[in-house]
Amino acid sequence: MMKHISLLGATGSIGEQTLEVVRLHPEAFQITAMSFGQNVEKGLKAINEFKPKLVAVKNDDVKKELEQAMTSKDISIVSGLEGLIEAAVYPDSDMTVNAVLGSIGLEPTLAAIEARKSIGIANKETLVTAGHIVMEKAKEHGVQLLPIDSEHSAILQSLQGHNLEDVSRLILTASGGSFRDRTKAELENVTIDDALNHPNWSMGAKITIDSATLMNKGLEVIEAHWLFDMPYEKIDVVLHKESIVHSLVEYHDKSVIAQLGSPDMKGPIQYALSYPERLELASAKRLNLWEAGSLHFEKVDMDRFHSLALAYEAGITGGSMPTVLNAANEAAVHHFLEGRIRFLEIEEFVEQALQKHQVIPFPDLQTIQEVDRATRRFVNERIITS
Ligand code: NDP
Ligand code: MG
């Protein structure tokens, strides 16, 4: 049966790979609505190829630019957060894939859940900042969140045929990112280009930096806590530099089930789109274990990767703390990418923001948004005036 998809963030790294999966299976998937930010050139290409009925863009300026460039008048163009939400709940869509970057993805996710779309979730900030609200709403509306993050997809795959009650531990693997073999002292003067050079995965800029600090893994620990209803003491992280074992589930009998494959985001994307079925993925590279040779695993040094320790702390404290973690990190990474702060200062600003914040238990959506804004302001002011 044809699955109709609203794809949010179509011009991004995950968005483009989602389009690639759709391109490989024209009999199974169709894009009915899509959104992008401001990359009109890429967006227009995707529109011409996939012919969605609705397109949402970041703002009115982009909308005007797109309208001038488009020849077809059958496609509605909408803009802003309202437009993004319109795309997320598009009536003809069965599934909403959220591949936008950052906490702007939260409201569209909630709206899509209310509209009872099945949700493919790449936008991890959604679960980190408002996991309690998102999961409660999903439960209320009987909607399943299908993870697109490779680790969470691996866990979902390793859980098939089993009950969550029989799980004793989730083990997330981390590649260690661009600087996995450097000491903390060697990180003092690393450049933006060094940080953007990830050894295994090709991803968007922000998540590549998050991989280098291991904040990405920290966000994923919080994401796993919500997706699989698992307490933090039952979520571990192990360094695994080959990125072949994508994550593992330990059961009460100490048996461990893992999912393996060559690192390629199209695998988890397609699994979310076709779940619970599996389709062929012709473009994927077969995993020949004899070519991989040996696989390595290492305990994480929490001093060296201080961001991961901060994420665990924020997750365990709960309430509004994960929102502060995420917002401070987004702001700090932005300033790092703009060349305003050094690499190691990212974790310093995140820590300062967490320390300054008075935790609010069970924050509602409005409180989350206020905390998010206040945190960004705090980090921005410190960086601009320092
Ligand atoms: P990218 O930066 O590559 O893409 C982000 C997408 O969101 C683009 O289409 C961009 O549009 C759009 N966008 C950004 N800001 C806005 C805005 N204000 N309004 C509307 N649209 C906006 O990110 P990734 O694809 O790397 O990541 C997307 C999400 O998936 C993130 O949450 C990330 O953590 C998660 N993820 C990514 C993985 C990866 O391999 N890349 C792996 C696992 C999770 P435009 O460029 O046109 O402005
Ligand atoms: Mg991941």
pLDDT digits (tens, 9 = 90+) for 115-149: 999 999 999 989 999 999 999 999 999 999 999 99
Mean pLDDT in residue range 218-245: 98
- CA 223, CA 69: separation in Å to the nearest integer? 39
**What is the predicted pLDDT for the residue at 125?**
87
- CB atoms under 10 Å from CB of 384, counted, come to 9
Q: Do the Cβ atoms of 300 and 240 come closer than 8 Å?
A: no
Pocket flag, ligand 1, residue 9 (CB < 6 Å): yes
| Residue 113 CA, ligand 2 centroid: distance in Å | 23
Burial of 113 from C-beta contacts in 10 A (0-12 / 13-18 / 19+): buried
| Residue 253 CA, ligand 2 centroid: distance in Å | 27
- CB burial of 36-48 (b: ≥16 within 10 Å; e: otherwise) equals bbebbebbbebbe
Pair type for strands 167-174 and 245-251: antiparallel
**What is the predicted pLDDT for the residue at 272?**
98
- CA 201, CA 91: separation in Å to the nearest integer? 35
| Residue 102 CA, ligand 1 centroid: distance in Å | 7
ipTM above 0.95, yes or no: yes
Number of H helices, E strands in the chain: 16, 12
Whether 386 has a pLDDT exceeding 90, the answer reads no
Residues 329-380 have pLDDT tens digits of 999 999 999 999 999 999 999 999 999 999 999 999 999 999 999 999 999 9
Whether 202 has a pLDDT exceeding 80, the answer reads no
**Chain CA centroid to CA 146, Å:** 12
Domain annotation for the chain: domains and CATH numbers: 3-143 (3.40.50.720), 150-305 (no CATH), 318-386 (1.10.1740.10)
Helix (H, G, I), strand (E, B) or coil at 253: coil
Q: How far is CA 124 from CA 207, 254, 270, 278, 285, in A?
A: 10, 29, 17, 23, 26
**Chain CA centroid to CA 246, Å:** 15
Pocket flag, ligand 1, residue 372 (CB < 6 Å): no
Q: Residues with Cβ within 5 Å of ion ligand 2? A: 149-151
Which protein residue's CA is at the shortest distance from atom 43 of ligand 1? 149
Q: Which ligand is nearest to the CA of 246?
A: 2
First to last CA, the chain: 57
- CA 264, CA 366: separation in Å to the nearest integer? 37
- Which of these, 41, 43, 40, lies nearest to 8 by C-alpha position? 43
**What is the predicted pLDDT for the residue at 198?**
81
| Residue 296 CA, ligand 1 centroid: distance in Å | 30
Residue reference for tokens 């790979």: 17
Residues 83-100 have pLDDT tens digits of 999 999 999 999 999 999
- CA 293, CA 149: separation in Å to the nearest integer? 26
Shortest-distance atom of ligand 1 to CA 219: 34
- CA 220, CA 35: separation in Å to the nearest integer? 24
Pocket flag, ligand 1, residue 57 (CB < 6 Å): no
| pLDDT band, very low/low/confident/very high, at 270 (cuts 50, 70, 90) | very high
Whether 299 has a pLDDT exceeding 80, the answer reads yes
Pocket flag, ligand 1, residue 149 (CB < 6 Å): yes
**What is the predicted pLDDT for the residue at 73?**
79
Mean pLDDT in residue range 137-165: 97
Whether 187 has a pLDDT exceeding 90, the answer reads no
Pocket flag, ligand 1, residue 218 (CB < 6 Å): no
**Chain CA centroid to CA 380, Å:** 23
Share of the chain above pLDDT 70, in %: 100
